[in-house]
Structure 1
Amino acid sequence: MSSEQEFHTQTKLSFSTKLAYGVGELSGSLPSNILVFFFLFFLTDVAGLKPGMAGIIVMIGKIWDAINDPLIGWLSDRTRSRFGRRYPWMILGSIPLGLSCILLWTISPGDGQTFQVIYYTIIALVFYTAFTAVLLPYSALSAELTQDYNERTNLISFRSAFSIGGSIVSLIVAEVIFSLFDNQAKQYSLLGLVAGIIATISIFISILGTYKRYKEVHKYGYNSQKNSSLSIKENIFLILTNFPFICVMIIYLCSWLSVQTIAAILPYFVINYMGLTEEHFTRMAIFVQGTALIMMIFWNYMSQRFGKKTIYLMGIPFTIVAELGLFLLQPGQVILMYIIAIIAGIGIATAYIVPWSMLPDVVDLDQLKTGERREGIFFALVVQLQKIGIAGALLLVGKILDSAGYIPKSTGQQPETALWAIRMIIGPIPITLLIIGFFFAYLYPITQAVHQDILFQINQKNETYN
């Protein structure tokens, strides 16, 4: 057995490494969760923008976020430094990420729809550039810290736990701030401040806690350090011929497009359709995420026994049933609303774990075919598609509410057309997306046995070349 094989079959990730890697997820989960849950509502009901204009801001930011993904992914794959390929990007992007997160939740210094659109668009562009520079290389590390099939699921479980934990923390912080302060502008500015500070600190904790393991892996050289002779366009074209990657991309897109569309419409559903206060919205979101966090342990155990795609096929139907339940829910059924939130959380836990733990296995398959490690561009393409989809979804949400006659900052009853639109967005639309993702999860071909064979062939090739 080669030294490389011995290292990866006998050396497991330490608890401290997995914990430090998980902490890094807070740099993305806190800012992104408050964006998903509150930003559209903040722009319409606090900053006073029309829903359509708010949707345009979100769309522009997300499109730029998607455009810079493959570029930064490709560049990070080609980065050479004594700190490796990923860490320089994480270090340089951390401070701008925190500062722009704070500014994004500050009321613009000028009045008028045009000025506000320009202000929030510029801040959003800076935020998403820094966000990609930090989170994309961070995500790619999951494929570089270990090659073990089950260890990757375990590592992603730590990351997912902090993702859900970050979401819960952001919602708890939001509820506390909302209860302590009456001024909405102050509420959201404090929320952005807390998220920005935690985002910056957490990524440095992750860097310090994982770098030793990264250096150990790099020592054995399974991560190819040679530059690809292909352009970014040629890289993307070649990757898109990888069928397992197509499956993962669609699973991820459909899962998170569904989940984040619900998150964006949930404040409107709870406040306008159910007739409840903001506190009920944050509590309901906590029920969903808290259940997902608890179920993470169960699904991680089940994955060790039955595999990644099996737990997805087992879990996602719970979320589909929950979304149907929300569509059929009637005002006054508050207890049932919270029960549905728990059911949704059972399935959402698998959406956190499965796509990200599948993706490193796909990278290994690509290495077998090409002889190169291209984690950055692979992770970039998945995230890019997700961001384009979410940008389009949030724009669609804004446009649907606009067309349905939604009244921003309304203190009275919304028109019936707006209430019906809210129900459609929270039910049939995300259900359709999850069914598509379920189908492609069924088609995904890389099982644990297949992955072990991929690693065996990679090691055989390496020994031949050496």
Structure 2
Amino acid sequence: MSASLTAPPAERLPLRLKIMHGLGSLAYGVKENGFSTFLLLFYNQVIGLDAGLVGTAIMAALIFDAFIDPVIGEMTDRTRSRWGRRLPWLYFTPLPLAIAWMLLWSPPEMSDAATVAWLIGFAIIVRALVSMCEVPSIAIVPELTADYDERTRVMRYRFLFGWGGGLVLLVLAYGVFFNGAKGLVDPAGYFPFALTGALVMLGAVMLSAAGQHKRIAVSNLHEKRPPARLSHIIGEMRETLSNRAFLWLTFAALFGFVNQGITFALNNYLLSFFWQFSQGEMVAYVFLLFASMIAAFLCVAPLSARFGKRDGAIVAGAISIAFNSAIYFSWMEGFFPGLPGKPSVAWMFGLVFIANSCSIMLMILSSSMMADVVEASQSETGRRSEGLFFAGYFFMQKCATGLGIFVAGMILSFAAFPAGAEPGQVAQTVLGNLALGYMLAILVVGALGLMVMRRFPISRADHEARLALLDDAARAEPDANAAHP
């Protein structure tokens, strides 16, 4: 193991650096909001494709695209430049991403088959380009600090900006782009929606890279791997991704991201048709989501300090599943406040606030746990593979999100949800089936994920002991080299 492979110092980072790092996740937040909240609705209700067909197309595109991620991760780990491993990707990818994003939301008039092909093609391109921004960006986290708790603090800034970017776009969508009589199905609103998202993604990634340039370009973690045959590279990738901690964490997170895909894909259906929110309530709901992000930002570090990352994630996940399921169970049983008239918006907001805050804390802690896997693998393989690990994580996330959107489409088909529906005109039996399908899906999938999470093997003590061993090995190497010139 060379000295270049020492872990970074376990230190606290300047606030400015955390903010500039987190800013890069705006692009991911914009993309995730668009894909998970609007894409199914756009191609189903605006373009006119069947919901099940759209869900299947999105799932196929995302799973195909997901196989690109490990390649991107390995390429970023092997990139050599005077700017280090990550920065070239962050400077040269945002412009093509902005262009592809615009084209995704601008399909020309053509047959249904051609429209599905357009959707699949540009969904793959957009998500691949987002990965070329997000994988090297988040892979910087383990390079910034090895401190167990500071990694969680850094990750919360990524989630703050990621959620913030998506929610700002959501506010603009509900309050500006779709404020006409047609609401979310107004075709004219989707061009300014897409253009705003493209500009935000372009600016955020470039500014984040520039703000971290001085720190990352001079990092001592620019591992020099010799040229290797493709078979050797594939063998190293297989060895790295076979790490036990990585596999358990990825398997657990798969269930969580399936639930997220289901929830985001159905969110506009639930708000518009189930809860029948007015435009003002829609905008208030977005601010509620941002408030829940702030709550998660403030509470996640104390939660991790009290329980550790794994157990804190399990506690947060269990609370989120319980409260989210209770919303729809109480509606179906007829004792949700406000029934038999319009359900109480205040009660719904309160329950969603708790459920969403805990869900975000679960995701922050899971991402921070992935950063700790880097040193666990380094102690086994002698390589630091930040990019490959986070790419593998995104591989799983894309497959899971695509599966979640597919399940959402199947729930809509199970409920016999009509195309071109009008709020207030959907039959109660349809809404009841929608609530039942959604509640059962998130309850079963979420519970399975938390059971798997219990198997994650890295604790605070494990991580700190491993850092000490790596540091001792790095110090011993120069002494050995001096003794044997």
The two structures have a TM-score, normalised by structure 2, of 0.88
Do the aligned partners of residues 460 and 189 (structure 1) sit closer, same or farther apart at CA in structure 2, a change above 3 Å counting? Answer: same
For 2:357, which of 342, 346, 357 is the aligned residue?
A: 346
Aligned to 1:389: 400
Q: Structure 1 CA distance, aligned partners of 2:261 and 2:83?
A: 34
Residue in structure 2 matched with residue 318 of structure 1 by the alignment: 319
Q: How far apart, CA to CA, are the structure 2 residues paired with 1:213 and 1:141?
A: 10
Alpha-carbon distance, 1:433 to partner = 2.1
The correspondence of residues 399-410 of structure 1 with structure 2, limited to 5 A, is 399-410=410-421
Give the drift of 1:227: 4.4
The residue that corresponds to 1:273 in the other structure is 274
Q: What per-residue deviation string (whole Å, max 9, x for no partner) do you get for residues 299-343 of structure 1?
A: 223324442123212212221122212322436213222122112
Distance 1:338 1:34 in 2: 22
Shift of 1:119: 2.4
The one-letter amino acid of 2:14's match is S
Counterpart position of 2:25: 25
* 1:126 partner letter: I
How far apart in 1 are the matches of 2:444 and 2:457? 23
One-letter identity of the residue aligned with 1:198: V
Among candidates 182, 185, 188, match of residue 187 of structure 2: 185
Q: Identify the range of structure 1 (302-311 vs 388-397) with the bigger mean alpha-carbon deviation.
A: 302-311
Q: Please give the alpha-carbon distance, in whole angstroms, between the structure 2 residues aligned to 1:212 and 1:63.
A: 36
Distance change >3 Å, CA 129–CA 240, structure 1 → 2: closer
> In structure 2, what is the Cα distance between the partners aligned to 1:396 and 1:309?
27
Measure, in 1, the Cα distance between the counterparts of 2:87 and 2:434.
Answer: 42
Identity %: 25
SS in 2 for 1:455: helix
Q: Is the 8 A contact 1:55 1:394 kept in 2?
A: yes
Residue aligning to 2:219? 217
Q: Distance in 1 between matches of 2:49 and 2:165?
A: 28
Could you say what secondary structure the match of 1:8 adopts?
A: coil
* Alignment correspondent of 1:464: 476
Structure 2 distance, partners of 1:373, 1:427, is 41
Tell which deviates more after alignment, 154-163 or 195-204: 154-163
Q: Distance in 1 between matches of 2:437 and 2:287?
A: 20
- For 1:145, the aligned partner's letter is L
Q: Over the residues paired in the alignment, what is the CA RMSD in angstroms?
A: 2.5
State the partner residue of 1:369: 380
Aligned partners of 1:51 and 1:401 also within 8 Å? yes
Change (3 A) 1:4 1:69: closer
Matched letter for residue 444 of structure 1: F
Q: Structure 1 residues 388 and 447, CA, compared in 2 at 3 Å: closer, same or farther? A: same
Between the aligned partners of 2:32 and 2:6, the Cα distance in structure 1 is: 38
Q: 1:66 — aligned with what?
A: 66
CA distance in 1, matches of 2:284, 2:41: 17
Residue 200 of structure 1, CA deviation: 0.6
How far residue 414 of structure 1 moved from its aligned partner, in angstroms, is 3.5
* Contact 1:406/1:415, CA 8 A, preserved across alignment: no
Q: Which runs of 5+ in 2 are unaligned?
A: 332-338, 479-485
- Distance in 2 between residues matched to 1:378 and 1:228, nearest whole Å: 21
The match for 2:448 is 436
Distance 1:370 1:382 in 2: 19
Alignment of 1:286-305 (within 5 A): 286-305=287-306
Task: Answer yes or no: is the 8 Å Cα contact 2:155–2:367 preserved in 1.
Answer: yes
CA 1:278–1:318 in 2, change beyond 3 Å: closer, same or farther?
farther
Q: Secondary structure at the match of 2:300?
A: helix
Q: Tell me if structure 2 keeps the 8 A contact 1:327–1:424.
A: yes
Name the residue aligned to 2:483.
none
Paired AA for residue 348 in structure 2: M
Structure-2 residue corresponding to 1:141: 140
What displacement does 1:415 show? Answer: 5.1
Offset at residue 397 of structure 1 (A): 2.0
Contact kept? 2:241, 2:389, Cα under 8 Å: no
Shift in Å at residue 278 of structure 1?
5.9
Q: Indicate whether 1:355 and 2:355 are aligned.
A: no
Higher mean displacement: 123-132 or 323-332: 323-332
Shift of 1:347: 0.8
CA distance change for structure 1 residues 6 and 343 in 2, over 3 Å: closer, same or farther? closer
Structure 2: distance between partners of 1:23 and 1:100: 21
Q: CA deviation at 1:28?
A: 0.9
Q: Which stretch has the larger CA shift, 312-321 or 175-184?
A: 175-184
Q: 1:281 to 1:225 in 2, by over 3 A?
A: farther
2:148–2:372: 8 Å Cα contact kept in structure 1? Answer: yes
Once the two structures are superposed, what CA deviation does each residue of 1:162-195 show, in whole Å capped at 9, x if it has no partner? 1221232122111222454456112122111111
Deviates more, 1:317-326 or 1:299-308: 299-308
Distance 1:277 1:65 in 2: 37
Q: Where do 1:8-47 residues align within 5 Å? A: 8-9=9-10, 11-47=11-47
Query: Gapped runs of 5+ residues in structure 1?
Result: none
- Which deviates more, 310-319 or 416-425? 416-425
Aligned 1:225-244 pairs, distance under 5 A: 225-227=224-226, 231-244=232-245
For 2:168 and 2:251, how far apart are their aligned partners in 1?
A: 29
Q: Deviations over 1:350-388 (max 9, x none)?
A: 123111111111111100111111111111111111111
Question: 2 CA distance for matches of 1:235 and 1:49?
Answer: 43
Runs of 4 or more off by more than 6 Å in structure 1?
2-7
When structure 1 is superposed on structure 2, of 391-400 and 347-356 the one drifting more is: 391-400
- Paired residues, what number? 460
Asked whether the 8 Å contact 2:310–2:454 carries over to 1, the reply is yes
Aligned to 1:443, what secondary structure does the other structure show?
coil
1:216-248 C-alpha deviation (Å, 9 max, x unpaired): 432xx4x53324856454234323432211222
The amino acid across from 2:375 in the alignment is: D
| 1:98 aligned residue | 98
- Tell me how far apart the structure 1 counterparts of residues 187 and 159 of structure 2 sit (CA, whole Å): 31
- Separation in 1 of the partners of 2:30 and 2:119? 19
Q: Distance in 1 between matches of 2:277 and 2:176?
A: 18
Asked if the contact 1:224–1:371 (Cα under 8 Å) also holds between the matched residues in 2, the reply is no
Match of 1:378 among 386, 389, 396: 389
Matched, 1:453 2:454: no
